[in-house]
């Protein structure tokens, strides 16, 4: 059995990671080694998913011309093109649909993809990388840029790179304000 001290250390380490993670929107020009990106992707695949279907699909975009297309698709959010890599998190609607029908297509695969995206953001932070969840984009433009199959829905763009800024922590609603307890 793990000691109480070890558990306490682990919880505090996770709290520190969660609090340190920020949306980073400015990056150094330096490349991110492929091994780092693989580690980030690996973290995504550790996420929970409904029925363990794992409907997430990732497209790692390092080619400058494709990053430019993604930035345009994201209503000209320029930092998307400036990041050395953009991980596009997608959901395979057909896989979730096969398993769970409409609820799979409309809910589970989005939740599964979101869980994977957050896991990746946290691993990026743990590796000293900066990243941002970009959800404002024209889906059809992203589909065209990445030649996605019809049943693959892009959920999030995650520009990743070495951070060139240290954003302040945006305020959070206190737990009491967003929680109801039914004791
Ligand atoms: C679903 C979703 C969509 C988002 N879309 C964008 C976006 O398009 N552009 C952007 O700059 N940030 C985007 N963000 C990042 C949020 O602005 C950011 O998480 C929030 O302001 C809190 O800041 P923090 O991530 O540093 O804690 C998005 C975040 C989420 C979860």
Q: 33 in a domain, yes or no?
A: yes
- DSSP notation for the chain: ---HHHHHHHHHHHHHHHHH--B---B-SSPPPHHHHHHHHHHHHTS--GGG---EEEEEE--HHHHHHHHHHTTT-THHHHSSEEEEEEEEHHHHHHHHHHHIIIIIHHHHHHHHHHHHHHHHHHTT-EE--B--S-HHHHHHHHT--TTEEEEEEEEEE-BS--PPPPP---HHHH-----
pLDDT tens by residue, 10-33: 999 999 999 999 999 999 999 999
Q: Once rounded to an integer, what is the mean pLDDT over residues 130-149?
A: 98
Q: How many whole angstroms from 24 Cα to the centroid of ligand 1?
A: 9
Q: Domain limits at 38?
A: 24-164
Residue 54 has pLDDT above 90, yes or no: yes
In the structure encoding, which two tokens stand for residue 149, read together? 């199959």
78 is a domain residue: yes
Identify whether 181 is part of a domain.
no
Q: Model-level pTM?
A: 0.98
Considering its fold, how many domains does the chain have in total? 1
Answer yes or no: is 172 within a domain: no
Instruction: State the helix-helix crossing angle for 4-20 and 109-126, rounded to 10 degrees.
Output: 100
Q: Residue 182 falls within a domain, yes or no? A: no
- Does 178 reside within a domain? no
Distance 167 CA to ligand 1 centre (A): 12
Residues touching ligand 1 (Cβ under 6 Å) are 22-23, 25, 77, 132-136, 167, 170
In this structure, the residue with its CA closest to atom 11 of ligand 1 is 134
User: Is the pLDDT score of 74 beyond 90?
Assistant: yes
**Residue 149 belongs to a domain:** yes
pLDDT at 1: 81
Find the radius of gyration of the CA atoms of the chain: 18
Residue 81 lies in a domain: yes
pLDDT at 8 over 90: yes
Average pLDDT, the chain: 98
Across 61-66, average pLDDT: 98
CATH number of the structural domain spanning residue 58: 3.40.109.10
């Amino acid at each position: 059995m793990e000691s109480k001290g070890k558990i306490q250390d682990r919880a505090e380490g996770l709290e520190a990671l969660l609090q340190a993670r920020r949306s980073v929107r400015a990056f150094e020009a330096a490349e991110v080694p492929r091994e780092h990106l693989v580690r980030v992707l690996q973290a995504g695949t550790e996420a929970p998913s409904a029925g363990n279907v794992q409907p997430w699909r990732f497209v790692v975009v390092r080619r400058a011309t494709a990053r430019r297309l993604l930035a345009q698709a994201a209503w000209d959010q320029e930092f998307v093109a400036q990041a050395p890599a953009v991980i596009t998190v997608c959901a395979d609607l057909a896989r979730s649909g096969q398993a769970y029908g409409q609820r799979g297509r409309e809910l589970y695969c989005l939740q599964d993809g979101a869980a994977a995206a957050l896991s990746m953001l946290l691993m990026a932070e743990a590796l000293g990388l900066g990243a941002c969840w970009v959800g404002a984009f024209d889906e059809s433009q992203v589909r065209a840029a990445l030649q996605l199959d019809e049943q693959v829905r892009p959920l999030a763009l995650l520009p990743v790179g070495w951070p060139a800024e240290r954003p302040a922590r945006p305020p959070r609603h206190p737990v009491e304000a967003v929680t109801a307890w039914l004791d």
